[in-house]
Amino acid sequence: MVQLTYEIPSKYSAHDVQKQIDALVATCGADIEIVDYAGRVGIRICIEDLPNKIDVDHALIDKMKGMDVLLGYDRNRTPIIHTFKHPHMIIAGEPGFGKTELLFFILYQWIKRLTPNDLEIHVIDLKGTSFIPFIGIPHLHPIATDLDKAYETVKRVYDIMIDRRDKVLERGDKQLLRQLARKKHLLVIDEAGVIAPKLWAGDERKTCQKIDGYLSQLLMVGRELGIHVFYCLQYPHSDYVNPQIRACAGGRLSFHLSKPEFSEVVIGEPGAEKLSTPGRAIYKTNKSITIHVPYMHDLEKRLEAMKCDARRTMRNGATCVEDNADHVHRSNQSFLSLRPLPVQTRE
């Protein structure tokens, strides 16, 4: 790989250079990556392409700690790690290009490393079948497969967040905040466009508006309170994407999308429409990088082994305990005494 770095005239940005990428590719005869250095732009000439398939490096995963996850590898075969300095993430991609496989790979890493006392996973999947391999994993709450259950799921996570916030405010104790936030609650919304209020009418639309309002609050306030949102889409039309996720998602990743405007919604720039290889994605935090996501061919087998271990543990008398009195209450307890945050809805 060769990188050339240029100063950008003040009236232009790396985004303007990105728009000329087709001409740059034709000129260089190789793939091009644009890197934004805030006033300078790096033009990477990629002499060697990424491989079409990369196997999982389990030894690397075993060395990782906390909520860090391996996403894939760049053109130099450098592992690309997502850290939770960026607590919320948007993942997009059309069917068949790797979005669901990556999401499963991320969840697998956390389930392998963290106990149900460290992490609880709340999933909304209106298709109802995508997460079948995870059923029986003790970290996972029942999957929400219709709008009413989706509302209950988002409200449950919202109530956990408010309960934590109010405990901290009542005691005025920053240490308690860190203690409560050690236990993570991950909300995964698969094909989030389906719950966009504009797609519904009547009571269903009102339910979606409520979901949208609670989701916005989770995105804005949840970070310090141990709440994380993964917002996943196949067709990220700007009219159907919660605007707060675009503002708050510090991590953005896109596989192939059919239109440059869809790419703009997810990663803030065109480029995802040019990805043609399954497993190839653009990952963006403060800068964009093209990666290839590893393929985990034995995921379901490994999940089944984890379920067997969990059942064996339960038979031996161990139970998954919730947070104690200084931590969050169980999600089915009353939160009527809490002072909820104002919830805004959108049409």
Three-state secondary-structure class, residue 83: coil
Q: What's the pLDDT at 11?
A: 61
**275-312 burial by CB neighbour count: b if 16+ within 10 A, else e?**
bebbbbbbbbbeebbbbbbbbbeebeeebeebeeebee
Please report the pLDDT score of residue 48 as a whole number: 58
Token representation of residue 215: 């989701």
342 annotated as belonging to a binding site for a ligand: no
- The reported pTM is 0.80
pLDDT, averaged per 10 consecutive residues of the chain (347 residues), comes to 56 64 60 66 64 86 92 90 89 95 96 95 92 94 96 98 95 92 96 91 95 94 94 91 85 95 92 92 90 92 92 69 34 32 50
What pLDDT does residue 24 have?
A: 62
Per-residue model confidence (pLDDT) at position 335 = 26
pLDDT value, residue 53: 82
Backbone φ and ψ for 279, nearest 5 degrees, come out as 95, -15
Q: Which of 179, 184, 194 is nearest to 218 (CA)?
A: 184
The verdict on whether residue 27 carries a ligand-binding annotation is no
Residue-level pLDDT at 243 = 82
- For the range 237-243, what are the long-range contacts, defined as Cβ-Cβ under 8 Å and sequence gap of 24 or more? 237/193, 237/262, 237/265, 238/264, 238/265, 239/196, 239/198, 240/193, 240/196, 240/198, 240/199, 241/192, 241/193, 241/196, 241/265, 242/192, 242/196, 242/212, 242/215, 242/216, 242/346, 243/346
Strand 288-292 relative to strand 251-254, pairing? unpaired
Structural contact between residues 37 and 5, judged by C-beta atoms closer than 8 angstroms? yes
- Has 347 been labeled as part of a binding site? no
- Cross-strand pairs, 184: 119
| Residue 335 known to bind ligand | no
Q: Judge whether 198 is annotated as a binding position.
A: no
Residue 93 marked ligand-binding: yes
103, 134 Cβ separation under 8 angstroms:
no
Dihedral, 92, 133, 77, 62 alpha carbons, nearest 10: 130
pLDDT at residue number 41: 63
94 assigned to a ligand binding site: yes
Would you report the helix, strand and coil content of the chain in percent, each value rounded to 5?
Answer: 40, 20, 40
Contact 102, 71 (CB under 8 A): yes
Q: 106: which 2 tokens?
A: 């991320």
Residue 99 labelled as part of a binding site: yes
